[in-house]
Amino acid sequence: MTLAGKVALITGGGRGIGRAIALAFAREGADVCVTARSEGEIAAVAAEIQELGRRGIAGTADIADRVQVEAMVEATATQLGRIDIVVNNAGGGLERTQVGDDDPDVWANVIEINLLGTYYCSRAVLPHLRNAGGGTIINIGSGMGHQARAKNSSYNAAKAAVWMFTRCLALEVWEENIAVNELI
C-alpha cells in the first residue's frame, strides 16, 4: 500500500474523476476526505472508502467560497489528524458561447470554481502540509488550458491560469518538501 498512513483531501470527490481518485487512494492505504457542494454523493463515496477499510469522511463545501474551504480543510485535519495530499479536482465549464453572447456572471463563476477554488484549497492546506513535513498538491488541469478554442474562453482561461498557478506554487514550496503538479 503505497499511501499507507497518508491522509488525502479530494475536491469534487462525489463522482467522476474525483470519485475514482478517492477510491484509488483508499485502495492504496490512504484515509480520504471527499468534498463537494452536495452531501449525498460524497457521503456515498465516504461510505465506499470505509468499506475498503480506510477512514472516509465527507466534507461539504463550495470551493468558490474561501471561508467554506478553510472550514472544510480544518475539519478534515481535525477529524483525520493531518493532511498529506490534496487533489484539486472540482471544476467544470458552465457555458459554451462566444464572448459577447455569454453571461458575465456565469463566465466569472467558471473562473471562481476552477481557478479560485484551486487557489483557496491549496492555500488553506499549506500549513497542514508544512506541519506534516511535506506533501503533495495535485491540480487537475485540462488540455483546454494549453490551447485556444472558440466558445469556451472561460474554461480555457481558468485552466490556463491553474496551469500557471501550479508552476508558480511549485517554485515557492519545493524547498519545504511540497510537490505541486498538474495532471491533465
Q: 154 Cβ partners below 8 Å, 6+ apart?
A: 93, 94, 95, 102, 106, 107, 108, 110, 111
Give the model's pLDDT for residue 1: 67
pLDDT confidence of residue 95 = 83
Question: Which pLDDT value is given to residue 51?
Answer: 98
Do 40 and 71 form a contact (C-beta atoms < 8 A)? no
The per-residue pLDDT for 183 is 96
Sequence-ordered strand ranges (E) for 22-131: 31-36, 56-60, 85-88
pLDDT (0 to 100) of residue 156: 95
Question: For residue 143, what is the DSSP state?
Answer: G
The residues of the chain scoring below 70 in pLDDT are 1
- Long-range contacts of residues 176-180, Cβ cutoff 8 Å, at least 24 apart: 176/129, 176/130, 176/134, 177/133, 177/134, 177/135, 178/126, 178/129, 178/130, 178/134, 178/135, 178/136, 178/137, 179/134, 179/135, 179/136, 179/137, 180/122, 180/136, 180/137, 180/139
Known catalytic residues are 155
